[in-house]
Amino acid sequence: MLAIASSSLRIFTFRKGLSTCVRTLYGSARLGVDSYVQKREKLALQMANSKEEFYSRMTGFAEGREALVTAGDLNQMLHLATADEQDQSLLQRMLTRYHSESSGLRFNKFVFGPVVMRMYWHLGLADRALQAFNDPALTGFFDQLSSFVLLQDLLYRQGRYQEVLDTMEQVMQRQVQGARHPIDCIVLTLAACYQMNSAASYEYSRSLLARLHAVGHVVSRRAVSLAAALALRRGEPQEALAMLQPRTDTDRAIPRDLLAMSLAELGRPSPAVDTLQGPLLLDLPQHVREATSVTQDAMDSVEAAVQKKNDCRNHVQMEESQAGRYRKFSPRRSPTGETWARTGGPTKLGASFNRGRRPERPALRPGLKDMVD
């Protein structure tokens, strides 16, 4: 049942259309960590011979023996600091002093919250990240949506799912930038509920969705898919069906398969088979139809329901789906959504758009250039 590996953020890997796509929750490029690492490596080369002197000067800033902590010095420290306890202690003191000194400024104030969280994410320091996030001396320092997502993603990667839920409660209380329910935070929270797979996490996911619907929040497809997958995992196909049926995007691979599994587990194989066959009935080019994918779990669940019902029509339709044009895959290889990674370079991408096009029609009459001797 859509088992997600604890150390992986991928939920589904499949072939779509003309190219191979990988969808995971949030990869390092999506979170801005890749660019942070590049700057970090570049600065390490530039300051290879002056690092000790720089650390000595930063110690003076942190202890108050020097002038104000500047944004440039703090930015360099964030790109040079390691996971060593001495480095992190020095950085914590610098953050506290910089925040206290710049809290009264209205202009020229650089937002360091996401940069600090990217450093913690890169070094894997979840405890340090939580400590800084909850530090009263740094109130308001991490009030950015990207900081929330980075913290939750770091906790999720380390399997600290309950703390992901606790962080979500703080996010809703702070209501930063007018957003009480940030979409990315909701997805990470429901992914953590799915991983926990407990009665408490299931009830939390239901109450969270109820709160979102009560305030008119549009829940993303990925969030609903995670909540429905958890409902199926908890043996509540009726609840999963109630989440998926009102939506208009169940023609997409994952919601479609979850809808089919919900119907199959409720003993309704005929609509389940029709749901899986939906893409095969569309007027699509042959190469696109051949690339249509379906999860192995969905095929197994629907097939079991068909065998149990023992209906001739359903048997024929199921055989057409299995022998037909579906490419089956198992989400156990990788389950959760790097938001967009396409294999191949731009040449392959351009070629994929031209593949399968009709040949250009020949000219019906000669052009001027054909008339020239």
SS3 of 12, please?
A: strand
Region 221-238: what's the mean pLDDT? 94
User: pTM of the prediction?
Assistant: 0.77
User: In this structure, how many other beta carbons lie within 10 angstroms of the beta carbon of residue 130?
Assistant: 18
Closest CA to 184 of 23, 336, 7, 26: 26
Residue that has been written with the tokens 């930015």 in this structure: 75
- Under a CB-based contact definition with an 8 Å cutoff, are residues 196 and 161 in contact? yes
pLDDT digits (tens, 9 = 90+) for 79-115: 999 999 989 998 998 898 888 887 766 555 688 999 9
The span from the CA of 208 to the CA of 190, in Å, is 9
Mean local confidence (pLDDT), 187-199: 94
Report how far residue 84's alpha carbon sits from residue 330's, in angstroms, rounded to the nearest whole number: 41
The confidence score (pLDDT) of residue 19 equals: 32
Task: Tell me what pLDDT residue 296 has.
Answer: 80
Mean pLDDT of 297-312: 82
Burial 153-181 (b: 16+ CB within 10 A, else e): bbbbbbebbebbbebbeebbeeeeeeeeb
SS3 label, residue 278: helix
**Is the pLDDT higher at 358 or at 281?**
281
d(CA 130, CA 28): 19
pLDDT at residue 359 in the model: 55
Decide: helix, strand or coil at residue 293: strand
- The number of CA neighbours under 13 Å toward the Cβ of 35 is 6
Contacts of residue 261, defined as CB under 8 A and 6 or more positions apart, other chains included, come to 232, 237, 240, 272, 297, 298, 301, 302
In the chain, what's the furthest Cα-to-Cα distance?
Answer: 89
Element (H, E) at 19: strand 19-23
Taking only the tens place, the pLDDT of each residue in 134-160 is 999 999 899 999 999 999 999 999 999
Mean pLDDT across the chain, nearest whole number? 77
Place 7 in a pLDDT band, splitting at 50, 70 and 90. Answer: very low
pLDDT at 225: 93
Q: List C-alpha distances in Å: 286 to 21, 319, 325.
A: 19, 19, 9
- The CA distance from 75 to 80, in Å, is 9
- Report the percentage of the chain scoring pLDDT > 70: 70
What is the pLDDT at residue 104?
66
Identify the weakest region by mean pLDDT among 70-74, 101-105, 318-322. 318-322
- The SS3 of residue 14 is strand
Task: Give dist(CA 283, CA 22) in Å, integer.
Answer: 25
Q: Token pair of 336, please?
A: 């959760």
Report pLDDT for 187: 94
Task: Determine the Cα angle at 195 with ends 191 and 199, to 5°.
Answer: 105
Q: How many other CB atoms are there within 10 angstroms of residue 343's CB atom?
A: 10
Average pLDDT over residues 192-213: 94
User: Which two three-digit tokens encode residue 332?
Assistant: 């156990």
pLDDT at residue 181 is higher than 70: yes
